[in-house]
Structures are given as structure tokens and as C-alpha cells.
Amino acid sequence: MSVRSLDRDAPGRLLAEPGVAIVLAALAMDGEETRLVGGCVRDALLGTPISDIDLATTLPPATIIARVKAAGLRSIPTGIEHGTVTVLAADTTFEVTTLREDIETDGRHAVVRFGRDFTLDAARRDFTINAMSVGGDGRLNDTTDGFADLAAARVRFIGDAPTRIREDALRILRFFRFHARYGIGEPDRDGLAACIAARDTLDGLSRERVRAEFLNLLLAPGALAAVTTLSETGLLLRLIGGVGDVERLRRASARREDALPIAPNSRTDAIDRLAALAVFSTDDADRLRIGLRLSKAEHVRLSDYAPAIAALHDISSIDSPCMRRLAAIHGVPSLALALRVTHGEPHPRVDAAALEILGRMVLGEVAPPVMPLAGADLVARGVPPGPQIGRRLALARALWLEKGCPEGSAARDALIERALAEP
């Protein structure tokens, strides 16, 4: 049963794109064939933006490179051992891959040989919706019923699901990501059962590959339902090494959470959503850094968020001075996210005036609190440079935070007086 309409002629119109036409012309040879394949065909049918156009061909890699060079184009052997050559044409890059057939696989690495049969090449792909192709005549080739599955918003493994997963265990995570992006309703029953049965194989995957798939999943429209299923089936524990709070993920993913505003043109990204889902302490941030091979910047963001969410656990209510103090300690982005994901939980209670202050900080209407005293101010008043500058500033900062981060000359004078007193 179809739940959405598809434009069957749209993939064929891609052939008229300048770069596509140039590459196809360069690879044209009697007895050989090159087609558009995979995601670009799927997304064209849906009428959604197309980020990459991939091609499959009967030509071997060496011939691809030779033909591209003869046409005055540039090629890069990005995956030559797997038959993939990147071709640059009309300021666009295209991945051109020789048809392949699997010989053997251990779930992480496949041994393949080059082939000439588009049907066999389609049969070795992961999901039916990713196995369609369009030839030079503009005709849609669909040997796995991908068109019907796409129209039904159904993500289904090609052939036997356990076999597809044995070929590459990452397909477990891809099943959930693609369902979150293209599926509607419950996941395919056979596919879900195969993923659960093969859950142990996730442990052998490269954590970099898991990271890329999982962070992309968190940004998909159906991420909340997908992560819920991952959690209920025990797969989420395998992926992130800990429990997840799906309700906090829901709040982080929402565009607006009641009175807590979001800055214009901003959105939570995958790391924010990962934080909401899985970070409750600094230990969680460190575990995720190792388990998902996060970048330094990503780990820093989780580490900034961790003390903010932990601090809220010990606060029963937040008034305006408390909000300013929290913003000064944890920073506005981390504090705002922490308050969004805890909104509706028993504590902390946040009064209206405090919410307004945070909202104005988020929107950039009010600057975050900054202590109006620096080391140079103390040196100017006769305190010699050295360790005691830091000690005196720490005393002043403690007073400043205690008073709710006051501003103005009177506040500054009080801080100077405290800093100049005997430590």
C-alpha cells in the first residue's frame, strides 16, 4: 500500500544535469553501460534534495581513468581497490564504481570481484530503496522492488536479512538510520528481528563507522522512534555503552520547549542530541569520547554540558540571581540545553523572571555575565604579579557568584575590596 507518491520520471531528468551528461559521454563505449545508482535515484523519486550522484559501470577502473583523462577531465582513485574512481566535472564530483560481486565477507570486510551484471550488483546492496538505477535511456531499473517499498515508506533488506547483515554488521545501524529517514510506522519485522539476533556483531565494528552512522541517525526525522526501539531491544547499550534517556532526547529535538527559546536560525545538532540522550556526568562524556571516537571539539561540548546537567540535579529552584550564576559558571549554550532537556521534570523549578533572563541571553539581547574584575585591576592597585593575583581573584569571583553576578561600578568596587582584603 502506497503512503506517498513518487515522481517516476524524476531520476531520468538527472541525466540532463551538466556534470552527469559530461561524465556519461566520457564513459560511453560500445558494449559497455554506465548508470546512475543508489541514493540519487531514491531521492529524485521523492523530490528531496540530492547531495551526491553516484554511478555504476561495467568499465574496469583502469578504463574509467583512461576515458576520463581522454575527455579532459580529472580523476582521483579514491577507492581503486574497490573499483571506485572519483571524477570531477562541471565543478561537481561523481563517484564511479565498477560493478561488483561478493566472493566472501566476515561482517566487516568483503572480498569482491568486478562484474558486468547490474542485477547481481543490485542484489549485493543493503536495502531495496538503495538498489534502483537509471540508464542512459532514462528508464528506471528496479530488480528488488525498491520503488514499491519507497512508496510504502518501508525500509527492507534485499533478499535474506541475516545474510545482508553477515556481509556487513554496520547494516544493523543503517537499518535504523534509513528507517528513521525514509520509513513510516513500525520497522520491517524481518529486518528488525535479524538486527536483534545479530546484536553481538556490533562489538566488532570500527567505532568510527558506528559514530558516523549513529550521529546521522540522531538528526533523522524519525530519530526518536528509532532510538526508542534501539533502547527497548538492548541495541542502544551496545552502541553507546550506557543507558539513554529518550524523553530528554525528545525535548532536545523539539524546535521549542514551552518558554525556553532557541536562537533564530539555530538548531540542536547531533552532539547536542547525543548529550541529551546519554550524558549525565563527566564520566559519560569521557566514555562516549572513547566509545564513539569523538573529536576533541565534540568531547569538549559534552564535557561542558555534563556539569551543567549535573548541577541542575542538586537545585530545587532557580530564580534570577541563580540563573545568572549558572550562566556564568556553565555558559549559556550548555545551560540552555540542560534546562530544555529537564523541562517538565520534578526539579528544578524555574521562575518566570529567570526564564526571561536566559531567553534574552540565548537570543543575544543580553550578554552573559562576565566578572567585572581582572588581574590588571589588582596590579594597578599595588598587588604584585604572581600567584596571589589568582588567589585574590578567586575570592572575588566567589563573592560575585554568591551575589548573583552583579554588574556596575558598585559591584566592581565591592569585588576590588574583597580581593584587596587579606586572603
What digits encode the pLDDT tens for the residues 302-352?
Answer: 999 999 999 998 899 999 999 999 999 999 999 999 999 998 888 899 999
Q: Whole-angstrom Cα distance, residue 41 to residue 55?
A: 10
DSSP SS3 for 157: strand
Strands 34-37 and 317-318: unpaired
Looking at the domain covering 158-240, what would its CATH class be? mainly alpha
Nearest Cα neighbor of 153 from 44, 46, 39 is 46
Evaluate whether 235 touches 210 at the Cβ level (below 8 Å): no
pLDDT confidence bin for 197, thresholds 50/70/90: very high
Mean local confidence (pLDDT), 355-371:
91
Question: Phi and psi (nearest 5°) for 204?
Answer: -90, 0
Which cell numbers in the block locate residue 94? Answer: 561523481
From CA 325, how far away is CA 307, in angstroms rounded? Answer: 14
Q: Say how many Å lie between the first and final Cα of the chain, rounded.
A: 77
The mean pLDDT of 170-175, rounded to a whole number, is 97
329 contacts: CB under 8 Å, gap ≥ 6: 307, 311, 401
Residue recorded with cell 564530483: 93
Instruction: Give me 245's grid cell.
Output: 534517556
Q: Which residue has the cell 520497522?
A: 187
Report the predicted TM-score, pTM, of the whole model to 2 decimal places.
0.88
The whole-angstrom separation of Cα 353 and Cα 357 is 6
**pLDDT score at 314:** 86
Q: b/e map of 12-41 (b: 16 or more CB within 10 Å)? A: bebbebebbebbbebbeeeeebbbbbbbbb
Statement: residue 258 has pLDDT above 70: no
Q: Place domain 10-151 in its CATH homologous superfamily.
A: Beta Polymerase, domain 2 (3.30.460.10)
The predicted-structure confidence for 136-147, as pLDDT tens digits, reads as follows: 999 999 999 999
- Which residue type does 345 have? E
239 closest CA partner among 174, 303, 297, 193:
174
Cα 255–Cα 256–Cα 257 angle in degrees, nearest 5 = 130
Residue 273 confidence (pLDDT) = 95
Which residues are CB-neighbours of 138 under 8 A, at least 6 positions away? 9, 11, 12, 13, 15
Q: Residue 132 pLDDT more than 90?
A: yes
**Cβ atoms of residues 276 and 245 within 8 Å:** yes
> CA 132, CA 214: separation in Å to the nearest integer?
25
In the chain, the amino acid numbered 163 is T
